[in-house]
């Protein structure tokens, strides 16, 4: 056997046993001619001691060891001498008295230190990602991800779900983002797309009678990146026949709860999760991804100013707007410059202005606009917000949705906990009753989720006459201000699906050329079905208490979509392009040449 134990598993109970461990050198310390070598693997670290008199050959090898050399060590596990126990190390009560050492691999000096306390440029970390992944934190995260994935898989299998893989070379379909496209060598001029989600195929699996399907699916979207977004990502994707909203919500809750429980660290979520209508989320939190940890909700106080003589509020209400307010408990200790900065921030977010008020210890309000308000209006503000001495109150008068958006953003910036650790808790909920359509860039309807979401049955008669008022049978899972997943009851009849396609401006030719295979399948008996997709990277990001999903993905891209490790994306030579029938324009060729020269690589 290459090893009998891992480095982190040895304990006092192993004293007297012979052990063989393998790992990387963390440090080498010379204490009066005796070498102490800390050897590390993914389970932890153990101290090995090489004595020149006890094992001279092994000592000679240990003298050659340097940081990040790979060693194989064998010897006796023994208690550490009195006064040398390390209580901060799980293996701190024992050490290995070296009988033999073998250097399995040498290491050059590292491009950066692996010490977690040393801040290293992210680009450098990703360029040498295999080294970065040696850090204990990232080792823990990779195993955390594997553990919670296994738990969710087991929870779904217990409910009768079957794991099925779907294709990754498909036809391009409209799903809200740009497709990554792949040219076909065998069919010059024609292209595959990488799936933004397995949406159509999982619906076809319902037609096929699979009944309950899931997979941890790889998905691709060619869109601008953020801290919680990557061009390729993983989602826990599921679909079930003869299922409605309640069924899906119950199954997803069970899978997510199993993942939280498997993560340890005191994570718990109480089921069933609370639910909130989309309109309530927009009004009370300014977002369809509300972070419930960030204190009180936003309150509409327009009625307080129904007869106001304060022109800024009166004119807004006359124009059909609203006055909305939010209270920051114990936030009234801010300086005037800090309060002015909040006004500037509100204007950056699109507001005409912002009114601040501080509740004094005697219950009175301090604000530049107090002199324009009646005592009844001041009392109405405090009553509506349940304001107490020391609180800060922010008011925005504008279009209702804009006022809530501005206050909602300020609410998160001022009151939301930083990070997602177990100490700050997890506030998860369902947001339901989304609109089916939203206004698209061309002014016409666009899918709020995707074009396969079933309209609310009560709103079907308005589908063509007033599409923006139609609600959908969709639902989002939100936690700590992040959308963890989205799903819906699907359209399962060809006539409703064609009506939705026509509202989206697709011609009959477009419908049948792009979705004919789906509509054809709908001719042969389709069970009602519903599904969901959990953004697995984001879920693990919360459980690992990381600020970016790049920290929970083994080999992520940068925020520009580049892979510093492999150099992707990279140019192809003319021969490769010719095989797939692609020709670059002169402008593109010049740009690629300049880019490759900056990267220090010749352009083919």
For 418-452, write each residue's pLDDT tens digit. Answer: 877 656 778 999 999 999 999 988 889 999 988 99
Mean pLDDT of the chain, nearest integer = 94
CB atoms near residue 137 (< 10 Å): 12
Which pLDDT score is estimated for 600?
Answer: 62
Domain ranges of the chain: 12-105, 139-276+427-552, 294-415, 570-604
Which pLDDT score is estimated for 173?
Answer: 77
| pLDDT class of 176 with cuts at 50, 70, 90 | low
- Cβ neighbors of 212 (< 8 A, separation 6 or more) are 156, 159, 160, 161, 162, 238, 239, 240, 241
Percent of the chain residues topping a pLDDT of 70: 97
- Please give the biggest Cα pair distance in the chain: 95
Residue 366 pairs in a beta bridge with 358
Sign of the torsion formed by the C-alpha atoms of 240, 242, 245 and 247? negative
pLDDT at 227 over 70: no
CB atoms near residue 496 (< 10 Å): 15
Which pLDDT score is estimated for 206?
Answer: 97
Report, as an integer, the average pLDDT of 317-344: 97
Report, as an integer, the average pLDDT of 327-350: 97
Angle ∠(515,516,521) on CA atoms, nearest 5: 105
Class of domain 12-105: mainly beta
> For 389-424, how does the pLDDT look when each residue is reduced to its tens digit (9 = 90+)?
999 999 999 999 999 999 999 999 999 988 776 567
Give per-residue burial for 375-396: e unless 16+ CB within 10 Å, then b: eebbebbbebbebeeebbbbbb
Report, as an integer, the average pLDDT of 239-247: 98
Residue 455 pairs in a beta bridge with 472
| pLDDT class of 594 with cuts at 50, 70, 90 | confident
> For 292-325, how does the pLDDT look when each residue is reduced to its tens digit (9 = 90+)?
999 999 999 999 999 999 999 999 999 999 999 9
Tell me the CATH number of domain 139-276+427-552, given options 3.40.50.10860, 3.40.50.2300, 3.30.930.10, 3.40.50.720.
3.30.930.10
Poorest-pLDDT segment among 65-74, 118-127, 538-547, 583-592: 583-592
Q: Tell which wins on pLDDT, 101 or 173.
A: 101
> 75, 57 in Cβ contact below 8 A?
no
CB atoms near residue 507 (< 10 Å): 10
Report, as an integer, the average pLDDT of 112-125: 90
Distance CA 428, CA 442 (A): 35
Which pLDDT score is estimated for 588?
Answer: 79
pLDDT at 536 over 80: yes
Which pLDDT score is estimated for 409?
Answer: 98
Report, as an integer, the average pLDDT of 110-137: 93
pLDDT at 344 over 80: yes
Which pLDDT score is estimated for 604?
Answer: 46
Distance CA 573, CA 368 (A): 67
Which pLDDT score is estimated for 174?
Answer: 65
Total-model pTM: 0.90
pLDDT at 289 over 90: yes
Rg (CA), the chain: 30
pLDDT at 204 over 60: yes
Residue 96 pairs in a beta bridge with 48, 77
Closest CA to 364 of 389, 384, 339, 383: 389
Which pLDDT score is estimated for 603?
Answer: 47
Poorest-pLDDT segment among 20-34, 198-212, 224-238: 224-238
Report, as an integer, the average pLDDT of 530-550: 94
| pLDDT class of 284 with cuts at 50, 70, 90 | very high
> For 453-488, how does the pLDDT look when each residue is reduced to its tens digit (9 = 90+)?
999 999 999 999 999 999 999 999 999 999 999 999
| pLDDT class of 229 with cuts at 50, 70, 90 | confident
Which pLDDT score is estimated for 425?
Answer: 77
Which pLDDT score is estimated for 53?
Answer: 95
CATH (residue range 294-415): 3.30.1360.30
């Amino acid at each position: 056997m290459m090893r009998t134990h891992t480095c982190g598993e040895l304990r006092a109970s192993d004293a007297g046993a012979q052990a063989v461990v393998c790992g990387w050198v963390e440090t080498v310390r010379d204490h009066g001619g005796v070498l102490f070598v800390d050897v590390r693997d993914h389970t932890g670290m153990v101290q090995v001691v090489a004595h020149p008199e006890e094992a001279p050959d092994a000592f000679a090898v240990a003298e050659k060891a340097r940081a990040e050399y790979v060693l194989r060590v064998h010897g006796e596990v023994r208690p550490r001498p009195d006064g040398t126990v390390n209580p901060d190390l799980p293996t701190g009560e024992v050490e290995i008295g070296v009988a033999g050492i073998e250097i399995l691999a040498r290491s050059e000096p590292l491009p950066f230190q692996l010490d977690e306390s040393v801040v290293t440029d992210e680009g450098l970390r990703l360029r040498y990602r295999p080294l970065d992944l040696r850090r204990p934190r990232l080792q823990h995260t990779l195993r955390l991800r594997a553990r919670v994935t296994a738990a969710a898989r087991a929870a779904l299998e217990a409910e009768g779900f079957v794991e099925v893989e779907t294709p990754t070379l498909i036809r391009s379909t409209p799903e809200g983002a740009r497709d990554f496209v792949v040219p076909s060598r065998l069919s010059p001029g024609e292209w595959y797309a990488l799936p933004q989600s397995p949406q159509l195929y999982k619906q076809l699996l319902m037609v096929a009678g699979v009944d309950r399907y899931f997979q941890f699916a790889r998905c691709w979207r060619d869109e601008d990146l953020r801290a919680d977004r990557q061009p390729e990502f993983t989602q826990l994707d599921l679909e079930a026949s003869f299922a409605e909203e309640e069924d899906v919500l119950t199954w997803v809750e069970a899978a997510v709860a199993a993942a939280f429980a498997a993560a340890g660290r005191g994570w718990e979520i109480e089921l069933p999760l609370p639910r909130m209508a989309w309109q309530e989320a927009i009004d009370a939190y300014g977002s369809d991804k509300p972070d419930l940890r960030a204190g009180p909700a936003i309150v509409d106080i327009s009625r307080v100013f129904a007869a106001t003589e304060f022109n800024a509020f009166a004119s807004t209400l006359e124009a059909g707007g609203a006055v909305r307010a939010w209270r920051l408990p114990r936030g009234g200790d801010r300086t005037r410059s800090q309060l002015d900065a909040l006004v500037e921030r509100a204007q950056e977010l699109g507001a005409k202005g912002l009114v601040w008020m501080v509740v004094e210890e005697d219950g009175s309000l301090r604000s530049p606009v107090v002199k324009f308000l009646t005592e009844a209006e001041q009392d109405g503000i405090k009553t509506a917000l349940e304001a107490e001495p020391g609180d800060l109150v922010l008011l925005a008068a504008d279009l209702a949705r804009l006022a809530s958006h501005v206050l909602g953003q300020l609410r998160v910036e001022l009151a939301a906990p930083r990070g997602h650790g177990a100490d700050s808790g997890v506030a998860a909920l369902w947001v339901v009753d989304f609109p089916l359509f939203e206004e698209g860039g061309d002014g016409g309807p666009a899918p709020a989720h995707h074009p396969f979401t079933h309209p609310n049955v009560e709103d079907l008669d308005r589908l063509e006459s007033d599409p923006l008022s139609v609600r959908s049978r969709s639902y989002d899972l939100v936690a700590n201000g992040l959308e963890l997943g989205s799903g819906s009851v699907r359209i399962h009849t060809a006539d409703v699906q064609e009506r939705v396609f026509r509202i989206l401006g697709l011609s009959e030719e477009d419908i049948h050329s792009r979705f004919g295979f789906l509509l054809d399948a709908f001719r042969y008996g389709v069970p009602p079905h519903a599904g969901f997709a959990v953004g697995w990277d984001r879920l693990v990001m919360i459980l690992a208490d990381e600020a970016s999903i790049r920290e929970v993905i083994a080999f992520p891209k940068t925020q520009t979509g580049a892979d510093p490790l492999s150099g992707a994306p990279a140019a192809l030579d003319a021969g490769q392009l010719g095989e797939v029938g692609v020709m670059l324009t002169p402008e593109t060729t010049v740009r690629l040449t300049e880019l490759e020269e900056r990267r220090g690589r010749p352009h083919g």
